[in-house]
């Protein structure tokens, strides 16, 4: 940690450098969309549906934005056929929908524009964090480049593993800043909030600091960031609050007394999130729809070995810094970053259904220790001429996963793309249905119906369809003919329309469609009514 200082000085030249790199990384994240636009895919028999990475969750975000465009601030799960009251969760996306309605632009266009803004904010916040820790320009830039783009070794070990093994750097975008910029809006904004929170507390908890939380030293901003995180990604706030609590408790034990200044900073982080946390707890406990959604929303952590491989080379580089922080446990940035990293690991292994959500932002403390290790340990044993040569050799190893994620999007695949006839059928359904209508289709088609059509589906998402496993099997049985009572499913969920196209034909050639009335056809896709 550098000597105490009252302010962070970042020169205009530094900001220009950061902005250039931030814009470059953000533009790199949109290379697959340029491929969609200029490769001729959009003019073929395929229709790009709007989201590439993690398209299932992306479709739910667009559905929530569509509800905002209709004037609602509450979220209604339209990937399930049951009508239910809306709830105030994932408020960012209805808010973006409201903005899209005011600006009169398509929801998907604003979704990606918001991704751009969120990514740029995240990168600027990460550099601000580096500047709050180190005065040396080289160290700031080293931290920024590593935290922005470093990843694990999933790209190497995934092809070698037998069975269904998913590595964090290929499946947990909230851990990695660049990966988070590929998938949605709230992940990069959440990482920005975490970086700014840490940058405030790491200064105010440094030895010799005496200021109580105030407007001038970031106290108000810290409270606002905590509140924003409770709305954007509350699971990311939990380990950070735990870390601040442990840090303050350790400080009190060391001093052998409770000091009000540290307590006030702890309360600044905790109290703004309490009302939102109480609301979430209430709706999970007393709203059966949200309770079922929460029960199904299982994001289990990978095994310890797979997890460590997902951290890869950055973890190896960081080990000397982590060891030093454990051995000394000094009341500075090392201690705060160490307890934050430990809190994420502990919460990740506790028996909850959202284990991996607690790892959000883990690369921030890990790269902090990696940077400390490079400057204070590794560079001391490497000849000056070889330092940057070795870094250049390591960079492809620690960044290849991100490149693999980009390259993986340069192809047409069912999910992000559907046959163009489906899009034509969606347009007809959009004009002939309301939000209360229920449509039956295969899962890759149903996932897009709430955002493209505005109606409900029988089964469309493993988390947001209530009793999802049962409904998924019911849809399969209806299309493949195992459900001999064709009318029972339609009556149970009050289905208004059924879709039959190439993806439904893959489920089976059942007899149920022969009993229905065709009402619309677009090439290979037909729409039926009971």
Q: What is the pLDDT of residues 386-431, one digit of tens each?
A: 877 888 888 899 999 999 999 999 989 999 999 999 999 999 999 9
**Mean pLDDT (whole number) for 87-110:** 97
Determine the pLDDT at residue 207.
85
Of 352, 375, 407, the one marking the end of a domain is 407
| 3 located within any domain | no
Distance CA 173, CA 171 (A): 6
Q: Give residues with Cβ within 8 angstroms of 344, minimum separation 6.
A: 239, 358, 359, 361, 362, 365
Residues 317 and 226 in one domain: yes
CA distance 355 to 345: 9
Nearest-5° Cα angle at 352, 346 to 358: 50
Contact 423/47 with Cβ under 8 angstroms?
Answer: yes
Predicted model pTM: 0.95
Q: Is residue 77 part of a domain?
A: no
Is 483 part of any domain?
yes
Q: Is the same domain home to 366 and 447?
A: no
Domain-embedded: residue 76: no
Confidence of residue 164 (pLDDT cuts 50, 70, 90): low
| Torsion sign, CA atoms 202, 194, 337, 369 | negative
- Kindly state whether residue 57 falls inside one of the protein's structural domains: no
Q: What is the pLDDT of residue 4?
A: 37
Residue 2 within any structural domain of the chain: no
Residues 525 and 382 in one domain: no
Is residue 1 pLDDT above 70, yes or no?
no
In terms of domains, do 151 and 204 share one? yes
Q: Is residue 5 part of a domain?
A: no
Residues 140 and 22 in one domain: yes
Domain that holds residue 331: 12-50+66-71+85-407
Same structural domain, 156 and 260: yes
Is 4 domain-assigned? no
For 20, what's the count of Cα atoms within 13 Å in the CB-facing half-sphere? 7
5-19 average pLDDT score? 82
Backbone angles phi and psi of 438, in degrees to 5: -120, 135
Residues 379 and 523 in one domain: no
Average predicted confidence (pLDDT) for the chain? 93
Q: What is the mean pLDDT of residues 135-158?
A: 94
Structure confidence at residue 472 (pLDDT): 96
What does the pLDDT look like over 213-232, one tens digit per residue? Answer: 999 899 999 999 999 999 99
Q: In the chain, how many domains are there?
A: 2
| CATH number for the domain that contains residue 447 | 3.40.50.12610
Residues 401 and 357 in one domain: yes
Supply the pLDDT for residue 6.
Answer: 41
Can you tell me the mean pLDDT for 351-373?
Answer: 96
Strand partners, 521: 526
Domain boundary among 353, 385, 407: 407
- In this structure, the answer to whether residues 385 and 249 fall within a common structural domain is yes
* pLDDT (average), residues 128-135: 95
pLDDT of the residue at 331: 76
Residue 384 sits in the same domain as residue 438:
no
Name the residue with tokens 């979220």.
Answer: 75
- Boundary of a domain, candidates 359, 374, 407: 407
- What are residue 525's phi and psi, to 5 degrees? -110, 130
Sorted by sequence, the CB contacts under 8 Å of residue 503 that are 6+ apart come out as 414, 418, 419, 422, 441, 442, 444, 445
Do residues 27 and 114 both lie within one domain? yes
Q: Within this chain, do residues 311 and 429 fall inside the same structural domain, yes or no? A: no
Number of H helices, E strands in the chain: 26, 7
């Amino acid at each position: 940690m550098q000597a105490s200082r009252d302010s962070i000085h970042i020169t205009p030249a530094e900001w220009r450098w950061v902005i250039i790199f931030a814009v470059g990384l953000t533009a790199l994240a949109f290379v697959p969309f340029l491929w969609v636009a200029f490769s001729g895919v959009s003019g073929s028999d395929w229709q790009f549906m709007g989201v590439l990475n993690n398209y299932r969750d992306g479709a739910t975000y667009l559905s929530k934005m569509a509800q905002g465009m209709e004037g609602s601030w509450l979220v209604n799960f339209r990937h399930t056929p049951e009508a239910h009251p809306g709830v105030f969760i994932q408020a960012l996306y209805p808010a973006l929908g409201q903005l899209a309605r005011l600006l009169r632009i398509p929801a998907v266009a604003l979704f990606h524009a918001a991704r751009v803004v969120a990514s740029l904010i995240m990168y600027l916040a990460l550099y601000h964090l580096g500047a709050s820790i180190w005065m040396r320009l080289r160290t700031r830039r080293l931290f920024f480049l590593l935290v922005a783009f470093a990843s694990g070794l999933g790209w190497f070990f995934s092809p070698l593993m037998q069975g269904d093994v998913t590595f964090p750097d290929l499946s947990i975008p909230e851990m990695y800043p660049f990966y988070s910029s590929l998938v949605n809006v709230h992940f990069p904004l959440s990482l920005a909030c975490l970086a700014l929170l840490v940058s405030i507390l790491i200064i105010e908890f440094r030895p010799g600091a005496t200021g109580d939380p105030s407007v001038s030293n970031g106290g108000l901003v810290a409270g606002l960031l905590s509140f924003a995180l409770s709305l954007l990604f509350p699971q990311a706030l939990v380990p950070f609050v735990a870390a601040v609590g442990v840090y303050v408790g350790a400080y009190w034990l060391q001093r052998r007394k409770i000091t009000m200044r540290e307590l006030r900073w702890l309360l600044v982080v905790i109290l703004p999130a309490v009302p939102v946390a109480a609301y979430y707890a209430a709706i999970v406990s007393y709203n059966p729809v949200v309770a079922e959604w929460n029960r199904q929303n299982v994001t289990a952590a990978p095994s310890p070995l797979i997890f460590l491989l997902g951290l890869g080379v950055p973890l190896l580089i960081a080990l000397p810094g982590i060891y030093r922080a454990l051995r000394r446990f000094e009341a500075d940035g090392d201690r705060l970053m160490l307890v934050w990293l430990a809190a994420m690991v502990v919460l990740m292994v506790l028996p909850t259904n959202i284990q991996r959500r607690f790892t959000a932002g883990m690369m921030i403390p890990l790269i902090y220790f990696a940077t400390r290790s490079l400057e204070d340990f590794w560079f001391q044993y490497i000849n000056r001429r070889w330092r940057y040569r070795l870094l250049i050799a390591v960079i492809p190893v620690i960044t290849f996963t991100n490149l693999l994620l980009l390259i993986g999007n340069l192809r047409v695949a069912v999910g992000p793309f559907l046959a163009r006839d489906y899009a034509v059928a969606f347009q007809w359904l959009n004009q002939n249905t309301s939000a209360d209508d229920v449509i039956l289709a295969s899962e890759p088609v149903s996932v897009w119906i709430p955002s493209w059509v505005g109606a409900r589906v029988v089964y469309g998402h493993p988390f947001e369809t209530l009793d999802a496993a049962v409904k998924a099997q019911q849809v399969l049985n209806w299309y493949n003919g195992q459900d001999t009572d064709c009318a029972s499913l339609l009556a149970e969920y009050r289905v208004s329309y059924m879709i039959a196209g190439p993806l439904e034909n893959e489920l089976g050639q059942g007899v149920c469609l022969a009993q229905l009335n065709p009402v619309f056809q677009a090439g290979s896709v037909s729409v039926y009514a009971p």
